[in-house]
Structure 1
Amino acid sequence: MYLFSEIASIMEGEVRHESDALISRLVFDTRLLVEPEGTLFFALKSDHKDGHSYIVNAYDKGVRHFVVNRSFIIPRELEDACFISVDDTLHALQILGKSHRQKFSIPVLAITGSNGKTIVKEWLSQALSFKEKITRSPRSYNSQIGVPLSLWQLNEHSTLGIFEAGISRPGEMESLSELIRPTMGLITNIGMAHQEYFVSVEQKIDEKLKLFETCDTIFLSSDNVALYNRCRELYKGKRLLSWGRLTGADLQLTDSEAAAEGILKLRWQNKDLEIAIPFKDAISVENMLSVILFMLHTGCSEEQIKAQVMKIQPVAMRMEQKEGIEGSLIIND
């Protein structure tokens, strides 16, 4: 928790109405309000919505502390509320997230990729829960807004941070890298998502790999030869650990047919492993390889891995389809 005045100082904002309140929660959406006491509302502005339009709504729900743009005129009915005025509310949120991250010297894993970021993050969190106190991105909080909100969750009990970083355009990853300052990085894959904003797949690879500038170790698939070779070229001084089906992968899947039955036959450091997993589809197998590789790197034994991966539960994702009553179909949106 931070004092309201301390947060103003970190963001170099102007306090309009003093407060000695302790702030423990950051919110930018009134629909996410749970407990207004100790909440700081950021009035974020996008191309489609202006958070300043929801300040009165947040106030009516009990919030009394706000971060606003300097041009915002405080309505008379909100004169008992407390405000921090800044040049840019999103930038102020990022400054606060970055400052909070810098207080922690624990290992931090950053995950990027076109698909699978949330699943790998959640599976790692489940698999490593027996030995780590993990702070991770809520849901798919991987954007310019979501990352600082995720970093805010770090606390004195955290022993490992796992955070997603998602981009849709060139020039976005550098700021996320500066916020997260990861010690380890993992890239799930490179696909065609958001390709319309990039002139080539190579440009997208370079943009995503910017996330790993502060990393000591990077986890990736060696089956994606273009990605692997580019990462090796850019980061000659870093340790690359790979998973894949091709000879030369640090963690090699040696039997694809067995994998389709939920049995991973693997080769790791000249030793054969056989690990049963609760999934059989190809995408889940790929994601599980990255999870197992990370677990091996962190010192988990074969027995621990076997026990933990069988406990992993599916991750409910957006657009997940479920059967409803009377033959209806429910879509998680």
Structure 2
Amino acid sequence: MVHAEYTVGSVANIIGAKAIMMNDGPLTTLLTDSRRISNAPEALFFALSNRRDGHQFITDVYKAGVRTFVVSKRPNEVLTDANYLIVPDVLQALQALAAHHRRQFDLRVVGITGSNGKTIVKEWLYQLLMPDQNIVRSPKSYNSQIGVPLSVWNIKPVNDVALFEAGISAIGEMRRLEAVIQPEIGVLTHLGAAHDEGFTDREQKLNEKMLLFKDSKLLVGQYEELLSYKDRNTSTKFFCWSRRYDQADLYVIGEDTKKKDLYLRAIYHQQEIECHIPFTDQASVENAITCWSTLLALGYQPEVISERMERLTPVSMRLELKNGVNDCSIIDDSYNSDIQSLEIALNFLKQQNQHPIKTLILSDIYQSGLDEDELYRRVAAMLTDVGLNKFIGVGEALKRHSDLVLIDNKYFYNDTSELLSDIQRLNFRDETILLKGARSFEFERISRALVQKAHETVMEINLNALVNNLNFYRSKLAPGVKVMAMVKAFSYGSGTFEIANLLQYHKVDYLAVAYIDEGVALRTAGITLPIMVLNPEPNAFDKLVNYNLEPEVYSFHLFDELSQYLQDNDIINYPVHLKIDTGMHRLGFEAGEIAELCKLLVQNASFKVRSVFSHLVSSDSSVHDDFTLTQILKFEQAFKQIQEAIGYEFIKHINNTSGITRWGVAHYDMVRLGIGLYGVDAAVTDPAALQPIASLKTSISQIKNIKAGETVGYNRNGSLAKDGRIATVRIGYADGYLRAFGNGVGSMLVKGKLVRTVGNIAMDMCMLDVTGVDAKEGDEVIVFNDQQGIEELAKQIGTIPYEILTNISQRVKRVYFYE
């Protein structure tokens, strides 16, 4: 959203497009996602072809009110009053437009890159500079080839400083981002292992990242990483920090921990200065030193910097979806408030269908760069697009503009305390509530009041990782091949509507559940996708029909029972999925039964065959490839025989998760994606391809000093060989941490170190040997995450990852993150 004046014609000239123009109206908003439409009359949609071809969604975007499209091919049919800007490369056009926009402004632009810490450094620099600068910055972690131009487009004439982060994963990407950002000041954060796979070595990755700073006048970073560049780049001023080399501009000589704070001491201009930060973990300390260095390089006085850094607050760039009181769902995004991140949060709210009421609690928005009246007019328009049922505004500015909010059920308060004093009257019940507030409004107090109190053991689900995994498997499919997502067994322990809502938003074609009640739960939570039921129970056929669920039919007995029910209720052409047994020998019609099945299908008007499918026994193992091929051939014989008999087409599918990558020949019309969605697939050897979506965390209740030989736990099975310490943690077999993990079989992460269990696992707790670990009561303990994956836990007790995930108890609180 910008103040600079752009029209369809001027944009066509800027990006060098061949234009098919029906009008030359103003353009203020850039769109790249057909599901996220805002300010449609003045929007420009870029039909990108990254994961999916954006051209196929133009009709949907047009129906939402957008009239101007950047495309790479001339449309077969020109929609009424639509403008088409035809370019060779849509992504390059987006970047070219943003680069042009950047050149219109004379402001101090800071470009930030590195492997880790980019977003934290950007947000902390924002906190530190905000008292005396008007700042525009990348929303969330918008640092990709698409995210960077969308961020730069937000520059406005009132901005003094811009903070943009840039992330890359391959050679050639940074040159394009540099042309868009054109930073005057560069900041290099920690260079770690992230995206190493895209480069031949760490030096090549560093060289590529440094291209962002090729024309920068000032560069800030760690001395050890910038040393070689200082020697060969005399036109750039360098400001370096180090813990090891006293030649650095900022030489850190001391770090003193006091409770949860850290006092840093350093030599700067031959004098000792100090800085107090409210963090002690090493990643935060390094990011804080980078910010300290940046402000010194910009000319801020050490005393001013120290005062501001003492007030730094944690940065969470992820939405958290939690269970709330009175059957509510709480979307907690209360760490920052700007119009760009509000749009992202509202889009996530729009995805939620589990409750009949959608509620927004919003604070005043600061430093938007817009006139106050214009700002809240735009906010009001965004609220209308989402379809809110209830709005609660907190702050004097929102109260002044209350008439702009066209929602009947609306409330306004001067501050958070006033809202909390009235919270009982608001009567939150069966609602999805989005909390979106500037940090100064302390919306965490509202979160504490509304979030359901639960067991301290928490399973965190990263929804972005799930989308990454979905897109990985989609990239293996030919255009038109459908995806059925398996969400049975509480989505492999990961959730119900939380997962299904996201899959529905990302346009999977089918969902599959084990039992009818699981399908009913999804329907009542607002899921409208087709749902296949793998084990339909005859005593629940009424629910099957009432909730529009599609049954698997795997035997003549079930065929007859379902057929009779449908005939008794005068139902014809009901969608069914026929299961063929090609070698699993679990459920399904065998080869010798297909002829009889065909005969019954021809005679029976109750059924409409929606799909015919089978299940591969060992698609991940090359040892059984001959058997897999036999299964595929048997399946083809079966579905061809059925199709010839009934005379119409249906969906064919046999591939499960591992088969998607190993057996492309058998993708047919649809694939069934199961545990791969959740980051586990033995057939995928590239460690960067899939992301684990779940982390299971608990905490230490108590620590005891134990003498050698003293016993620990039930039946006196545990002991230490030497004097040491044990930590009792809040997880046991009732939470899904099985008894098999006891007596040193299992391990957990404490302070980044793997420690073994001691003694038997109890119902609600277990003990760990933390001898030699600087652990304290209340410290976080990680059962599994990306460092110790569920595959490792499965190996520890001789089982499979499915069992680990599905055993996590429902009393373990699930928290969902989404960037």
TM-score (ref. length: structure 1): 0.91
What per-residue deviation string (whole Å, max 9, x for no partner) do you get for residues 86-110 of structure 1? 1111111111011111112222111
1:35 and 2:35 matched:
no
Aligned to 1:71: 74
Cα 1:64–1:71, aligned 2, differ >3 Å: closer, same or farther?
A: closer
Aligned to 2:312: 312
List, as ranges, runs of 4+ consecutive aligned residues in structure 1 with deviation greater than 3 Å.
Answer: 257-261, 317-327
Q: Specify the SS of the correspondent of 1:23.
A: coil
Q: Specify the SS of the correspondent of 1:62.
A: coil
- Is 2:255–2:263's contact at 8 Å kept on the other side of the alignment? no
Aligned to 2:287: 287
Aligned to 2:54: 51
Aligned to 2:817: 332
Structure-2 separation of matches of 1:289 and 1:67: 43
Cα 1:321–1:285, aligned 2, differ >3 Å: closer, same or farther?
A: farther
Aligned to 2:387: none
Aligned to 1:253: 252
Provide the alpha-carbon RMSD of the alignment.
2.1
- Is 1:317–1:332's contact at 8 Å kept on the other side of the alignment? no
Deviation at 1:35, TM superposition (A): 2.3
What per-residue deviation string (whole Å, max 9, x for no partner) do you get for residues 7-61 of structure 1? 0111111221332311111010133323213111111111x21111221221222
Q: Specify the SS of the correspondent of 2:154.
A: coil
Deviation at 1:285, TM superposition (A): 0.9
Cα 1:263–1:320, aligned 2, differ >3 Å: closer, same or farther?
A: farther
Structure-2 separation of matches of 1:59 and 1:29: 13
Deviation at 1:162, TM superposition (A): 1.3
Deviation at 1:319, TM superposition (A): 9.0
Amino acid at match of 1:255: G
What per-residue deviation string (whole Å, max 9, x for no partner) do you get for residues 53-97 of structure 1? 22122122221221111233235xx22222212111111111101
Deviation at 1:318, TM superposition (A): 4.7
- Is 2:275–2:310's contact at 8 Å kept on the other side of the alignment? no
Deviation at 1:321, TM superposition (A): 9.6
Deviation at 1:145, TM superposition (A): 1.1
Q: How many residues align?
A: 327
Deviation at 1:221, TM superposition (A): 0.7
- Is 2:257–2:280's contact at 8 Å kept on the other side of the alignment? no
Structure-1 separation of matches of 2:321 and 2:227: 38
Deviation at 1:320, TM superposition (A): 7.5
Structure-1 separation of matches of 2:31 and 2:311: 33
Structure-2 separation of matches of 1:101 and 1:153: 9
Cα 1:42–1:100, aligned 2, differ >3 Å: closer, same or farther?
A: same
1:17 and 2:21 matched:
yes
The more displaced of 208-217 and 294-303 is 294-303
Q: Specify the SS of the correspondent of 1:33.
A: coil
Q: Specify the SS of the correspondent of 1:157.
A: coil
What per-residue deviation string (whole Å, max 9, x for no partner) do you get for residues 139-195 of structure 1? 111111111111111111111111111110112111111221111111102111111
Alignment of 1:140-179 (within 5 A): 140-179=141-180
Structure-2 separation of matches of 1:283 and 1:319: 21
Q: Among all aligned residue pairs of Structure 1 and Structure 2, give the percentage whose two residues are the same amino acid.
A: 37
Structure-2 separation of matches of 1:51 and 1:86: 14
Amino acid at match of 2:49: K
Structure-2 separation of matches of 1:283 and 1:69: 43
Structure-1 separation of matches of 2:181 and 2:200: 27
Structure-1 separation of matches of 2:227 and 2:310: 33
Amino acid at match of 1:244: S
Amino acid at match of 2:815: I
Aligned to 2:137: 136
- Is 2:143–2:167's contact at 8 Å kept on the other side of the alignment? yes
Q: Specify the SS of the correspondent of 2:9.
A: helix
Structure 2: runs of 5+ lacking an equivalent:
324-450, 456-812
Structure-1 separation of matches of 2:197 and 2:320: 25
Amino acid at match of 2:227: N
- Is 1:258–1:265's contact at 8 Å kept on the other side of the alignment? no
Amino acid at match of 1:24: T
Aligned to 2:96: 95
- Is 2:261–2:278's contact at 8 Å kept on the other side of the alignment? no
Q: Specify the SS of the correspondent of 2:41.
A: coil
Alignment of 1:206-285 (within 5 A): 206-222=207-223, 225=224, 227-246=225-244, 247-258=246-257, 261-285=261-285
Structure-1 separation of matches of 2:290 and 2:10: 40
Structure-2 separation of matches of 1:85 and 1:236: 43
What per-residue deviation string (whole Å, max 9, x for no partner) do you get for residues 242-276 of structure 1? 12212222112221234874212222212222222
The more displaced of 253-262 and 213-222 is 253-262
Cα 1:321–1:189, aligned 2, differ >3 Å: closer, same or farther?
A: farther
Amino acid at match of 1:21: G
The more displaced of 300-309 and 286-295 is 300-309
Amino acid at match of 1:74: E
What per-residue deviation string (whole Å, max 9, x for no partner) do you get for residues 180-212 of structure 1? 111111110211111112111111111111111
1:60 and 2:58 matched:
no
Structure-1 separation of matches of 2:303 and 2:264: 14
Structure-2 separation of matches of 1:263 and 1:32: 45
- Is 2:27–2:43's contact at 8 Å kept on the other side of the alignment? yes
Structure-2 separation of matches of 1:11 and 1:331: 40
Structure-1 separation of matches of 2:297 and 2:178: 22
- Is 2:218–2:237's contact at 8 Å kept on the other side of the alignment? yes
Structure-2 separation of matches of 1:97 and 1:245: 39
1:3 and 2:3 matched:
no
Cα 1:199–1:320, aligned 2, differ >3 Å: closer, same or farther?
A: farther
Aligned to 1:80: 81
Aligned to 2:753: none
Cα 1:311–1:32, aligned 2, differ >3 Å: closer, same or farther?
A: farther
Amino acid at match of 1:329: R
Cα 1:315–1:176, aligned 2, differ >3 Å: closer, same or farther?
A: same
Aligned to 2:605: none
Amino acid at match of 1:177: E
- Is 2:115–2:193's contact at 8 Å kept on the other side of the alignment? yes
The more displaced of 200-209 and 15-24 is 15-24
The more displaced of 89-98 and 14-23 is 14-23
Aligned to 1:121: 122
Q: Specify the SS of the correspondent of 1:115.
A: coil
What per-residue deviation string (whole Å, max 9, x for no partner) do you get for residues 262-318 of structure 1? 212222212222222122211111101111111122222233223322333222135
- Is 1:5–1:18's contact at 8 Å kept on the other side of the alignment? no
Structure 1: runs of 5+ lacking an equivalent:
none
The more displaced of 211-220 and 307-316 is 307-316
